Amino acid sequence: MRIDQYLSKSLGLSRKEAKELIQMRKITVNELLITNSNTIVDEANDIIKKDGTTISYEKNIYIMLNKPKGYITANFDKNEKTVMELINHPRKKDLFPVGRLDKDTTGLLLITNNGKIAHELLSPKKHVETTYIVKTDGNMDIAEKTLLENGVVLDGELTKKAKVKVFSDKTLSHISITEGKYHQVKRMYQCVGLNVMSLKRISFGPLVLDEKLKEGESRLLLKEEIALLEKEVITKGK
């Protein structure tokens, strides 16, 4: 790969901006100053630096965002704040959110540029499990819990069985589902006579929300998390 291409892809620059960095003598490859934008680099083995700081290029980017309320899950909107406004990454223009969380829902949202893995995670055939913590306006007793676990009728169809855990404060519960109908969790709870006051996604497949992330904060996935994500797609595909 040419050095200007590498800089463009890794730093999210235009080709012109990449060439300007080279002309400004800010780029080194294996500690050698680069002045020719046509220089070929081995992105897997060469050590490429800008102003002494190593630049790495990852083909696939995975970011975990702790989504706050008030943001819609979209790349751009003329009237609403979007989750992508919270992302600070040099290749931001290549990224998109996987699936969606409602405007007033908080918690785990995966941001990536990998369309294939996004498609696999969202495929109804994969039955990827997502877990939410739910605050309701009333107590959940065994009758409501059993109904949710066995499935309720939405849009004329019985939802798939869910996993439900009720806390000592019976207005708090966890629910794990393997499908994603429109406003599904809120509508399921309404079916058993409970209104959802707040909803937070705490896991998506093998990914678990990092408790250290404050609402609105994000971080790159760890290598171990990426491996789990890829394993989930492969396993569910069998």
Domain residue spans of the chain: 3-54, 62-124+207-236, 130-204
Point out the residues of the chain with pLDDT beneath 70: 234-238
Which helix or strand (DSSP H or E) is residue 204 part of?
A: strand 196-204
Under CATH, which architecture does the 130-204 domain have?
Answer: 2-Layer Sandwich (3.30)
What pTM value is reported for the model? Answer: 0.84
3-54 and 130-204: identical CATH topology: no
Instruction: Identify the pLDDT of residue 202.
Output: 98
Residues designated catalytic: 102
Which residue type, as a one-letter code, is found at position 142? I
Instruction: Identify the pLDDT of residue 12.
Output: 82
- Those residues whose C-beta lies under 8 Å from the C-beta of residue 89, and which sit 6 or more positions away, are 12, 61, 63, 95
Q: Phi/psi of residue 46, each to 5°?
A: -70, 145
Instruction: Identify the pLDDT of residue 233.
Output: 77
User: Radius of gyration (Cα) for the chain, nearest Å?
Assistant: 22
Return the CATH number of 3-54, one of 3.10.290.10, 3.40.50.2000, 3.40.50.720, 3.30.470.20. 3.10.290.10
Provide the CATH topology of domain 62-124+207-236.
Alpha-Beta Plaits (3.30.70)
Instruction: Identify the pLDDT of residue 56.
Output: 82
Query: What does the pLDDT look like over 75-93, one tens digit per residue?
Result: 999 999 999 999 999 889 8
Place of tokens 């990827």: 128
Instruction: Identify the pLDDT of residue 238.
Output: 53
Instruction: Identify the pLDDT of residue 44.
Output: 82
